[in-house]
Amino acid sequence: MPTRDIAGLTIDIDPELIGRLRTFAMRAGLVAAAVPVGVAVALTVTDAIRRRMHPLTASFPAEKPLTEQIDDTATTIYTYGADLYESMLEAIRGASETVMLETYIWKDDAIGRQFKQALIDAAARGVKVYAVVDGFANLVVPQSFFRFPPDVHLLRFPVFRPGMLALNLRKSGRDHRKILVVDDHIAYVGGYNIGSLYATQWRDTHVRLEGPAVWELRNAFVDFWNRHRASRLPQLTDAGSPDWMPHLRAARNAPSELVFPIRGLYLDAIDRATSHVYITQAYFIPDRDIHTALLAAARRGVDVRVVVPHRSNHVVADWLARGMYTSLLRGGVRIFLYQDAMVHAKTATIDGRWTTVGTANIDRLSLTGNYEVNLEIVDEKLAARMEDVFRLDLTNSRELTLGAWERRSGLAKLGEALISPLRPLL
């Protein structure tokens, strides 16, 4: 039997025992990994059945487009997809120089085909058209849908990239951004993907810029395009901007550069709050620092409210979020569950001054994983409009009280605990 000298002591080592311990550790690790994955699969299957029986198709209150002037830039908030798509298509159909469209999901349906034809028509009349679509998010969309005439330049962000399997952070992340820039004078950004479902059945938020601040989104598109384009695609140029608007800026998460500023925007703004923090999120899984910042704000008397879906389109994200409800509710954060429809907005407004609208969720994938873009706007008039939107959303929401939450079933509590190891992945 082999021996080993440890701290002056001679210890006999049984190779068979060591082998058994290694086998036990390996099996225990596999079980530990399999349990949350198994729970996630079971939840997904159950939710798919429930979704067919009880789809989220109810109507919901929405504001008409709201416009505020910020210096020389007009900002318009959209909370209803049909209104947004009408405006976006009108802008593309009126384009005379360039169209730059970037989206995460682009469905092959009535709305999706309208956008496709609008780009084709624009290119046919001499407009320079550039489009970006995420390959992974559109795996279920027929590949034929993304065949365009050669004068429409399409960048399909690849599903797999060299280095992904080696967990190279620079090669990770999906292109989760939604941007449209027309003639360098009109631009849109927000949570809306392109598809008929989102036109009437999802509550989301987009913002339109018209004026000098459009450069913020144009520059974001150009930088991404030049970074990821294939050699067959033209390189885009950016002449810069003579206008500086520190109170209206685009923050861009870029895994390839290891740059993730949107998380910092949230932390800084929450730490500054003295009156109220209103957050609307599709998938609310804050990391430790944001979680701590929200609790600290509530402790100092700030009215912290979060609107989330009562039932979202990603059941696993719902259950991971619920695992944090107890600590948030006990800490004074108020949680409101949006009823009978999917709320997909990624917005916040603080103290009647600070607002963000964009593509990033408050979860790991968005804040330290995907390509994202959020506008940060410091303007009292726009913040007032966003607070109006938030209050309207509250009329379609049910507040979750601590007492009601603590009375949930033991099975629900067990499920939250079992699935919690997946939280760092989302």
- What are the φ and ψ backbone dihedral angles of 250, each rounded to 5 degrees? -100, 125
Nearest-10 crossing angle of helices 315-322, 15-53: 110
Q: Nearest Cα to 99, choosing from 174, 154, 176?
A: 154
CB atoms within 10 A of CB 301: 10
- pLDDT by residue, tens only, the chain of 426 residues: 555 554 555 555 566 655 565 655 555 555 555 666 665 566 566 656 666 666 777 789 999 998 999 999 999 999 999 999 999 999 999 999 999 999 999 999 999 999 999 999 999 999 999 999 999 999 999 999 999 999 999 999 999 877 766 667 787 899 999 999 999 999 999 999 999 999 999 999 999 999 999 999 999 999 999 999 999 999 999 889 988 899 999 999 999 999 999 999 999 999 999 999 999 999 999 999 999 999 999 999 999 999 999 988 888 888 888 999 999 999 999 999 999 999 999 999 999 999 999 999 999 999 999 999 999 999 999 999 999 999 999 999 999 999 999 998 888 778 777 777 776 766
Tokens (6 digits) for 138: 């559109």
Report the distance separating Cα 423 and Cα 283, nearest Å: 12
Write down the pLDDT at residue 230: 93
Q: Nearest Cα to 128, choosing from 89, 105, 101, 158?
A: 101
Report the distance separating Cα 16 and Cα 57, nearest Å: 61
Report the distance separating Cα 37 and Cα 243, nearest Å: 50
Torsion region of 239: left, alpha or beta (phi above 0 gives left; psi -120 to 50 gives alpha): alpha
Write down the pLDDT at residue 34: 66
